[in-house]
Structure 1
Amino acid sequence: MGRRSEIKQKKKSKKWWILTPLLILLALIVAAGIYVWSIVNNVQETVDSQMHETVESIDQKKAEQKVKAKDPINILLLGVDQRAGDSGRSDAIIVMTLKPETDEMLMVSIPRDTRALMVGKGTTEKINHAYAHGGPDMAINSVENLLGIEIDHFVRINMEGLKELVDAVGGITVQNELEWNDGKYEFTKGPVTMDGDKALAFVRMRKDDSRGDFGRTDRQRLVIEQIVKKGATVGNVTKINDVLAIMGDNVGTSLQFSDMNSLLTGYNGTIKNTEDYLIQGTGKTIDNTYYYIVPDEEFAKVREMIES
């Protein structure tokens, strides 16, 4: 499959990654019905006390001023596959630019093998190593340096949390397009019902998919979509609070609850016109390590797309 076809297949899929924390929160509030006010309070408490992280690389006051003025903002999404005893690497790296004046949302995906400077460490490695070396700060600084832009906020989602979320909403069913058996689970084409363990195996598989990381991203999107849909139908307050607790343990963001409210009200029109773009480059082996090499001209093109 050609690279452009792969890009088209990602149309609309990345926005589920980016907006997942906001969509789940919104879905939970809507689903709460007569309990809405207590749920809103719980959501605010979860976001501000558990999910919110202050990072040195983001000027929070400046970011708040941009959101208040409805200026274009850049949000970095890091999808982290963090397992026990591992600090985790950001396997999904996406810059979302919201442009409220024109009601546009641009989604730029950075391949995880992209060769880049680790800002703060001084080494040149794969861009997804930045989070492992220095957490959100190094990841943000390295992406800013790579693209020549300013990041205003970040959202980090731990893939391990998907397992708990799937179980919390009572399992999910996805429409699977690829058949394989990983030795523990058999995945057939068509509708597949999964608990948390099976869902995690579903999103992590790569070797049996000729599309590699691109196929895995699609499966992650399918699972997240179904979590959001099931979350919106959960009427039991105990379950809703369970989901919030899981999010508190597995989602980190520079956004506060007030920022999320501002985005949902002042920037919601940007979802109407979305454009996804995968940074283009070529694979190359350097010192026995595979890298994705992106030319300067491509970075200049991406920077212009973000800033225009």
Structure 2
Amino acid sequence: MDNNTRSQRRQPSQKKKPSFMKKLGCGIGIVFMILLVAVGVFVFKVYSDVTSTTDEIYQDVEKDERRENPIEVKNKEPFSVLLLGVDTGDLGRTEQGRSDTMMVLTVNPNTNQTSIVSIPRDTYTEIIGRGTMDKINHAYAFGGASMSVNTVQNLLDIPIDYYVEVNMQGVKDIVDALDGVQVTPALSFSYDGYSFAEGQTTTLDGNAALAYSRMRYDDPNGDYGRQARQRQIIMASMNKVASLSSIMNYQGILGTLENNMQTNLTFDDMLSIFNNYRGAVSNVEQIQLEGAGTKIDGIYYAIVDDSELAAVSGALKEQLEIE
């Protein structure tokens, strides 16, 4: 063996330097892992915050059961919700208040349709649990959400599975937490210092949304026109909550819900509805329960005709797949 060969063998082997592409791949992997951990922490915090809020706003109600078995939204069954907009907290009120807004939602994932029925607050009906005939919005003043649920069940002859109660101050706060909602007015009017132009899409903050949804005396359709505008605010808010733009502001939204809302929907119920019923929420049918204005002993009531009640009740039963 010659000297050159021995010299070559004695030289230590040199490690290959990692290529630029390997370094880049390693860097990307580290960044990806950091992002994954950050997203995981964010998701966990959102989950924790939402769970905490739903625990705070959960309030069960005593109601007359109209189903043989309770509804299971995790099984994608059609369900109903009573929306109560109460005037507690509005204009500085601290008393129980009344439900100036009453809407029934029926959601059917099989037909991918949601129906919203507006009930006039002056509807003359039996107040269940009190045994008297009165305006339907007085049910809340007499017995809160429980009496309202039972009274609406009796009026429409359907089961009310869930309720959501929001006070008027909550409407303002929720809209503000969403950074406003967009509506297109069906008529021009001014109210409480705000002006709205027919056909002109505009973004409303919380105070403007309240003004938009309150006016009724200058509306040619009276309270029915006001209810239509209230439905606009609700639908605009629902669409905004479902949008990606609201995710980063979720804490502000949860805070307003915690302070201004009560419901018997659990966190698991809400999660199931979000996962299983999104198609139905995008296809909404609006129904207005109408009554004839009449005075009884000098007090104004809306008398709903039996045929009108039967038609609306039948439509809701079909939505809920009730025979």
- TM-score normalised to the size of structure 2? 0.73
- Which residue number corresponds to residue 262 of structure 1? 272
2:158 to 139, 143, 149: 149
- Which residue number corresponds to residue 321 of structure 2? none
Moved over 6 A (4+): none
Matched position secondary structure for 1:105: strand
| Alpha-carbon distance, 1:57 to partner | 1.1
CA shift digits 1:34-73 (9 cap, x unpaired): 73331122112111x22211111166x9775532443332
* Aligned amino acid, residue 171 of structure 2: L
Which structure is larger by alpha-carbon Rg, 1 or 2?
A: 2
Unaligned runs of 5+ in 1: 1-31
1:66 and 2:72 are equivalent in the alignment: yes
- Which residue number corresponds to residue 16 of structure 1? none
- RCO greater where, 1 or 2, for CA within 8 Å and sep 6 or more? 1
The answer to whether the 8 Å contact 1:63/1:152 transfers is no
- Which residue number corresponds to residue 44 of structure 1? 51
CA shift digits 1:149-175 (9 cap, x unpaired): 221111112221122233334445544
* C-alpha distance in 2 between matches for 1:184 and 1:273: 34
* Aligned amino acid, residue 125 of structure 2: A
* C-alpha distance in 2 between matches for 1:202 and 1:178: 11
The answer to whether the 8 Å contact 1:46/1:248 transfers is yes
1:206 and 2:206 are equivalent in the alignment: no
* C-alpha distance in 2 between matches for 1:99 and 1:289: 38
* C-alpha distance in 2 between matches for 1:96 and 1:293: 22
* C-alpha distance in 1 between matches for 2:137 and 2:294: 16
Deviates more, 1:180-189 or 1:120-129: 180-189
Distance 1:217 1:120, change over 3 A: same
- TM-score normalised to the size of structure 1? 0.76
1:247 to 223, 239, 257: 257
* C-alpha distance in 1 between matches for 2:269 and 2:73: 7
1:90 and 2:90 are equivalent in the alignment: no
1:137 to 146, 149, 157: 146
* C-alpha distance in 1 between matches for 2:182 and 2:158: 39
1:276 and 2:286 are equivalent in the alignment: yes
The answer to whether the 8 Å contact 2:191/2:212 transfers is no
* C-alpha distance in 2 between matches for 1:196 and 1:272: 24
* C-alpha distance in 2 between matches for 1:88 and 1:33: 43
Distance 1:92 1:225, change over 3 A: same
* C-alpha distance in 2 between matches for 1:298 and 1:185: 35
2:81 to 75, 86, 99: 75
Distance 1:63 1:217, change over 3 A: farther
Unaligned runs of 5+ in 2: 1-37, 319-323
The answer to whether the 8 Å contact 2:224/2:288 transfers is no
